[in-house]
Amino acid sequence: MTDYDVIIIGGGSAGYSAARTAQEAKARVAIVDHGPLGGLCILKGCMPTKTILRSSDLMALQRRSQEFGLLPVQARADLSAINDRKNRIIGEFTRYRIEQLQDPDFILYEDTASFLSPHELRVGAHTLRAKNFIIATGSKIAEFPVPGLKESGYLTSDDVLKMRTAPESLIVLGAGPVAVELAQFFSRIGVKVSLIQRSHHILSSGDEDLARAVEARLREEGMDLYTGTRIVNVVKEGNDRVLRFVHEDREKTVRAENILQALGRRPNTDGLNLESAEVETNHKGTIVVDSEMRTRQPHIFAVGDVNGLHEIVHIAIEQGEIAAHNAVHPDKPPRQMDDRLKTSVVFTDPAVAGVGLTEKECQTRDIPYLAASYPFNDHGKSICMGETHGHVKILCHPKTGEVIGAHIVGPEAGELIHPLITLMYFHGTVFDLVKIPHYHPTLSEIITYPAEDLIEKLA
């Protein structure tokens, strides 16, 4: 029997940040992770996907060479070389994370954790006790009951990152960030892609106007995109998969060499034996937490993908810090998660980035707002660069002009959103935005134009 102040189950982004925060407060900390060590973001999530997207983005630019007065080049992709580059880069990130986890300030158990009671954990041959537990076990690719899909065989985002040869054609099921980024990756390296989505538009959790700009670009690049569909079934015919679905009240079929199932993930609570810990999960299997990241058991916290609040790395890290602070400082005021500055980025081209409230959220929650947009095809620097897809949209309070949401679909959206996050962090207004100097000609200047429109509306 070994006692700790905090035991953290899972050493990914959420778990590692919790461990570091608890250790900085001089707590006795153990991390349990059955491996492979590194976490989703480094091994199979953010970093490998953004690495391979760089290759497909360059290839898309190569195809446009004549538009920029350059002699045409024969743009061709080699998926094994793309994945080899990715493996080299990810190998470095992984080695660094493992070194961090093996820091002598923590005790690392490389084994599976399972609760014996609310205060005891079985880890291999050990029984560990702790004053607090932080569950950070992440998520897993979910299976969906699409008739015939399992029998026909399909790829997942994990498989894509190991592929050596690209298929001739691919059906992508789903249109969340992972699905859309990978669909564009394959389309840009020369695969014939058909994307099938149940909702009325892709990236359905965000505003429609942002999604439509991406849809237009994907279609322009040659992708077949069907939204508002109902899947009937999948059958394997020879080497092909044939998907039957209903679209605009008609039954249609698409045929491709393979299918990428990118419909979503589920919380990973397998084998944790949460019943023994008396920790509650909801109907989706996510662990229910309050804003202090506490479960129904006040000494057991859950952070990152496993609580299903917002499956994004920087939020997993913040949740880890909050849980660890609340666990090791019972004498201090508790820290709480605040989603006022909730940010997300989709690394398509055009990219989609947003902070704060969407129009959809304002409308469903009856939050009053004013909105104004400005298109990249009317902005000097983007015209010079030949990157004219998309627009910037700003939402402000209808009386004070405080910015309550900002959204960009366009070139470098993931970078351009950051000055707007900073502005919102300081509760800045549209009046502040137009006063802040912006160098000319830059992409960033564009964020001041909708602010000027909003000032007129506020007058």
Ligand X SMILES: Cc1cc2nc3c(=O)[nH]c(=O)nc-3n(C[C@H](O)[C@H](O)[C@H](O)COP(=O)(O)OP(=O)(O)OC[C@H]3O[C@@H](n4cnc5c(N)ncnc54)[C@H](O)[C@@H]3O)c2cc1C
| Count of residues of this chain found to bind ligand X when the rule CB under 6 A is applied | 33
Residue with Cβ nearer ligand X (153 or 271): 271
Which among 211, 227, 257 is positioned nearest to 391, based on CA atoms? 211
Q: Does residue 112 belong to the site contacting ligand X (CB under 6 A)?
A: yes
Supply the DSSP string of 109-133, one letter for each residue. E-S-EEEEETTEEEETTEEEEEEEE
Q: Does residue 309 belong to the site contacting ligand X (CB under 6 A)?
A: no
Q: How many of the other CB atoms lie within 10 Å of CB of 65?
A: 13
Q: Does residue 15 belong to the site contacting ligand X (CB under 6 A)?
A: yes
Applying CB under 6 A, among 136, 223, 353, 357 the residue interacting with ligand X is 136
The Cα–Cα gap between 16 and 8 comes to: 8
Which range of residues in 43-51, 203-211, 329-337, 426-434 is near ligand X by CB under 6 A? Answer: 43-51
Residue with Cβ nearer ligand X (2 or 373): 2
Which range of residues in 80-88, 136-144, 247-255, 429-437 is near ligand X by CB under 6 A? Answer: 136-144
Closest distance of CB 230 from ligand X, Å: 25
Residue with Cβ nearer ligand X (258 or 429): 258
Which residues inside 316-335 make contact with ligand X, applying CB under 6 A? 316
Dihedral (C-alpha) 47, 42, 177, 194: value to the nearest 10 degrees?
80
Applying CB under 6 A, among 19, 21, 45, 121 the residue interacting with ligand X is 45
User: For 429-435, which contacts have Cβ atoms below 8 Å and span 24 or more sequence positions?
Assistant: 429/396, 429/400, 429/401, 429/402, 429/403, 430/394, 430/396, 430/401, 430/403, 430/454, 430/455, 430/458, 431/401, 431/455, 433/394, 433/403
Q: Does residue 55 belong to the site contacting ligand X (CB under 6 A)?
A: no
Contacts of 354 (CB under 8 A, 6+ apart): 206, 210, 343, 344, 405, 406, 407, 408, 417
Q: Does residue 339 belong to the site contacting ligand X (CB under 6 A)?
A: no
Q: How many of the other CB atoms lie within 10 Å of CB of 81?
A: 11
Q: Does residue 40 belong to the site contacting ligand X (CB under 6 A)?
A: yes
Applying CB under 6 A, among 32, 202, 213, 337 the residue interacting with ligand X is 32
Q: Does residue 137 belong to the site contacting ligand X (CB under 6 A)?
A: yes
Contacts of 444 (CB under 8 A, 6+ apart): 416, 419, 438
Binding track, positions 140-159, relative to ligand X; x by CB under 6 A = -----------------x--
Residues that bind ligand X (CB under 6 A): 9-15, 32-35, 39-41, 45-46, 49, 112-113, 136-138, 157, 178, 268, 271-272, 304-305, 311-313, 316
